[in-house]
Amino acid sequence: MAIHSDELMKTYPMRVRYTLIGVLGAVVVIFYFFPRFLGEAGRSASKIEEVVETFDIPPTQQFEIPPPPSRPSIPVESEDEDLAEDITIDETDLDDFDWEAPPPPPDAGPAIRFIPYDEPPLPIGGYSTIQKNVRYPEIAQEAGIEGIVTIQAFIDDKGRVTETVVLKGMPNTGLDEAAMDAIRRTRFHPAKQRDRAVGVWIAIPINFRLAN
C-alpha cells in the first residue's frame, strides 16, 4: 500500500496539470465558438425580425355599368288588308260655310294680306272633291284619332293652291299634313272681284272621322 501511495503522489501533480490544461482548452474552445454561435443566432433573430412592412390598400371603387340602350322598335306592317275598307270620312257640309277670309293668325307662316272679292273660289266638282282627295294617315287610324283640321289656303287667279297654313290642327298625328295635301291636289274656280279673277285666302275645314 505504501508503494502504491507513493506512485499516486508522484503522478498527482502531472494529473492536476493535465486536468487544468484540459479544462483551459475546453474553456478556450467554448469561448471561441460560443460568440460565433451567438452571432449566428443574432443574425437569425435579425432576419426573423425583418418582417415585410404591410400597409392598408384602399378598397377598389366599384363602378356600375349602365344597362345597354333598349333596341328601337321596328314598325311592323299591318296584316289587316281590309283596314281601309272600314274607314269612312264624313263629308263636310260647306254649302252654307261663310267664306269670308279670317284675319291671319299671329304666328302662322307668312304675313297674309286680305284681298276682297265678290265671289269666293269654289273647288271644281264641289267640296266633295276635297274629301275624296283626303288620305287618312295610318298612324291616326290605328290610334283612333278623329277631328277637324282647318287649313287656310291661297287660291291664285288660275285656281291653283300655292300656299297653305294650318289655322287649327292636330299636331303629331299626320292629319294636318293630310289636310294640306288634299287641298293642294284640288283645283278651284278662282275668286272673282267685279268679274275679274283674283287670288285670295280662304279657310277650309277638313273633317276626319273613322267608321264605328
Per-residue model confidence as pLDDT tens digits over 164-208:
999 999 999 999 999 999 999 999 999 999 889 999 999 999 999
- Say yes or no to pLDDT of 83 above 50: no
Residue pair 83/143 in contact (Cβ under 8 Å)? The answer is: no
Grid coordinates of 81: 288588308
pLDDT digits (tens, 9 = 90+) for 135-159: 999 989 889 999 999 999 999 999 9
pTM here?
Answer: 0.48
Task: Give the residues across from 149 on adjacent strands.
Answer: 206
What is the sign of the dihedral through the CA atoms of 139, 142, 145 and 149?
positive
What is the sign of the dihedral through the CA atoms of 66, 68, 69 and 73?
negative
Grid coordinates of 134: 283626303
Instruction: Decide: helix, strand or coil at residue 151.
Output: strand
Q: Where are the alpha helices (DSSP H) in 50-137?
A: 128-132
Residue pair 160/183 in contact (Cβ under 8 Å)? The answer is: no
Question: How many other β-carbons are positioned within 10 Å of the β-carbon of residue 210?
Answer: 15
Nearest-angstrom CA–CA distance, 33 and 114: 127
Confidence of residue 108 (pLDDT cuts 50, 70, 90): very low
Task: Find where cell 277670309 sits.
Answer: 101
Question: How many other β-carbons are positioned within 10 Å of the β-carbon of residue 114?
Answer: 12
Backbone φ and ψ for 201, nearest 5 degrees, come out as -100, 135
